[in-house]
Structure 1
Amino acid sequence: MFYKDDRLALFIDGSNLHAAAKSLGFDLDYKLLRQEFERRGKLIRAYYYTALLESEEYSPIRPLIDWLNYNGYTIVTKPAREYTDSMGRRRVKGNMDIELAVDAMELAPRLDHAVLFSGDGDFRPLVEALQRQGVRVSVVSTMRSQPPMIADELRRQADNFIELDALRDIVGRPPREPREPAPAPTTET
């Protein structure tokens, strides 16, 4: 489904991709991910979308965002909103669907192939709209998690479905060795 002269772009729904990889038990190496798709065609853009909590002084995602920004990814963020649900639990809402859809539609006239890293069924109309403009669309997510992370309607709409688990050996980080606890200090008498 990929041709060497394809102009392609990656559209990464950060929280969705992270959840899918985590459900499969591995971490992504974003350097290898970018290299893999540079190998598959002429990579025009690699977008990464995520919402950030502004109320937190330090966000655990900040180092990843900074690294991606310095390594060829276009980062799109917006503030996440905190709210309390009907059960009194603190929740965070930070949907990036509109930003991703607008960028994909703006770039579509300069693309042959769009690769969407998300299983969110809300993207089915976007995939259909890109296809009407002559852009082939591959969707990367997983059916191997319980429950599957890919919405059936999105998988059916896409020109090509790429199982994330099949990319594990190409774009996955090797598991980290557990750290040894520091030896307890000894006192000599």
Structure 2
Amino acid sequence: MQLLPRPQNDSQPSEKLDTEQRLEQPMLKVIEKPEITTSPNMMPAPAPGLGYPEDSRLRQRVAIFIDGANLFYAAMHLGLEIDYTKLLRCLTRERHLLRAYFYTGVDRTNEKQQGFLLWMSRNGYRVVTKELVQFPDGSKKANLDVEIAIDMMNFARYCDTLILLSGDGDLTYVVDNITYQGVHVEVVSLSSMTSESLIRVADFYTDLENIKGEIQKEPGS
């Protein structure tokens, strides 16, 4: 019996070559680029903390920085007596509060002020003070912008959001710098007493007048 030659499969060499070439090629993992969304400045913005979904808000770590003199004059302009316990709840909005700072100039002879600051230190606030300096015109002032800026920079590494209660344009640079680090900064102040540059660099801005009803002290309390 004559054996016929085995038929040649012309496709085998090329298929083997293709397989070898594929094995020699490095494995490439395709990673889809995530969609990046930006949050434009808002004025007026939702109340602090409401710019985020419910579940993510609960996981946020926040720190609060209050310019006492600026808040005092804003409240006086609004005819507002602030309940500072309500203020903390309003600003935090169920987020995890790491620290709340209150900055103010002090007159050691003012017993009423000393009593107020003692209450603040016992009710959730870290009080930072500086002696008032009297000027030739008789006015008194203590500038704590440097203290506020340093504390904000230090806490930026530990927080998701920083909340600043001030309208002082001198704090614009530090707020702008912190937002570039990926930390959200919310500014709360009275719009008529707030620097436009500070509003522009903040991630969210809330006019103090819009939350007046939430932080008003109850009569007789």
TM-score, length-scaled by structure 1: 0.83
The DSSP-based 3-state class of the residue aligned with 2:156 is: helix
Equivalent position of 2:118 in the other structure: 66
The DSSP-based 3-state class of the residue aligned with 2:193 is: coil
Residue of structure 1 aligned with 2:95, choices 19, 41, 46? 41
Residue identity in the other structure for 1:121:
G
Equivalent position of 2:170 in the other structure: 122
1:80 offset after TM fit, Å? 1.3
Q: Runs of at least 4 residues of structure 1 off by over 6 A? A: none
Residue identity in the other structure for 2:170:
D
Distance 2:140 2:112 in 1: 15
Superimposed CA distance per residue, residues 111-157 of structure 1 (whole angstroms, 9 cap, x where no aligned partner): 100110000111100111111221101100112xxxx1111111111
Residue identity in the other structure for 1:29:
D
Distance 2:93 2:201 in 1: 25
More strand by share: 1
Distance 1:53 1:112 in 2: 35
Superimposed CA distance per residue, residues 24-56 of structure 1 (whole angstroms, 9 cap, x where no aligned partner): 1111100111122343411111000001124xx
Distance 2:219 2:207 in 1: 20
Residue identity in the other structure for 2:128:
V
Equivalent position of 2:69 in the other structure: 15
Equivalent position of 1:25 in the other structure: 79
| Cα gap change, 1:11 to 1:68, in 2 (>3 Å) | same
Residue of structure 2 aligned with 1:51, choices 87, 100, 105? 105
TM-align CA RMSD: 1.6
Q: Give 5+ residue unaligned stretches, structure 2.
A: 1-50
Distance 2:174 2:163 in 1: 12
Equivalent position of 1:94 in the other structure: 142
The answer on 1:112 being equivalent to 2:160 is yes
Aligned sequence identity (%): 36
Equivalent position of 2:14 in the other structure: none
Equivalent position of 1:81 in the other structure: 133
TM-score, length-scaled by structure 2: 0.71
The DSSP-based 3-state class of the residue aligned with 2:100 is: strand
Residue identity in the other structure for 1:72:
G
Conserved in 2, the CA contact under 8 Å of 1:68 and 1:75? yes
> Which of these two proteins has the greater Rg computed from alpha carbons?
2
Q: How many residues align?
A: 167
